[in-house]
Amino acid sequence: MEDKVLVVYASKYGATKEIAEKIGEVLRQEGLIADVRPAKDAGDPADYKAVIIGSASYMFNWRKDASGFLNKFEKVLAERPVWIFSSGPLEKGDPVQLLKGQILPKALQPVVDRIKPRDIAVFHGAIFMEKLNFFEKWMMQRIKTGVGDFRDWEMITAWAKKVAADMKK
């Protein structure tokens, strides 16, 4: 097994997909082999030395594809280095503080505790009104949250470089 990393993501409108693609790009620049795949198509991660799993987070919940991947492959994931990220906060400021410290959905905590990831990151998300359906637009107008692209590419790049450095140890 070479230094192959599987970057798995679940994204509703593409913002988390772009974060996963950026992480894969940084890992490749750092000399690793990285495959970036949607969670629903990723398959068994047994052929990879390490796995990064990310999901868009809506109302403190992950996309079903990502949480399903985590649960389905828990045993394999527990046997290798794993990193986890969520994207979601739509405001300026520290993303973990914006989530009041809840970095993962509570329902995922038991499986994550058994997998023992090396790190869990929370990145700002992005949402654009033109991509939303009628109900989502209605919700966005009623809750006090931002609209636009809040992703911090420097933060994402730095985190991916840290993952790459950990992998090379």
Please name which of 72, 29, 34 lies closest in space to residue 52, comparing C-alpha atoms.
Answer: 34
CA distance 63 to 74: 17
Whole-number mean pLDDT of the chain?
Answer: 87
Rg (Cα) of the chain, in Å, rounded?
A: 16
Which residue ranges in the chain fall short of pLDDT 70? 1-2, 59, 89-90, 94-102, 128-148
Secondary-structure class of domain 4-168 per CATH: alpha beta
Instruction: List the beta bridge partners of residue 33.
Output: 4
Q: Say if residue 97 is exposed, middle or buried (CB neighbours under 10 Å; 0-12, 13-18, 19+).
A: exposed
pLDDT tens, residue by residue, 38-60: 999 999 999 999 999 999 987 67
Euclidean distance between the first and final Cα of the chain, in Å? 15
pLDDT for the residue 132: 66
pLDDT for the residue 79: 97
This prediction's pTM: 0.88
pLDDT for the residue 30: 96
Instruction: List the beta bridge partners of residue 83.
Output: 52, 119
Tokens of 47: 């052929």
CA distance 93 to 98: 7
pLDDT for the residue 76: 97
Tell me the DSSP string of 70-91.
HHHTHHHHTTS-EEEEEE---S
Coil, helix or strand at residue 152:
coil
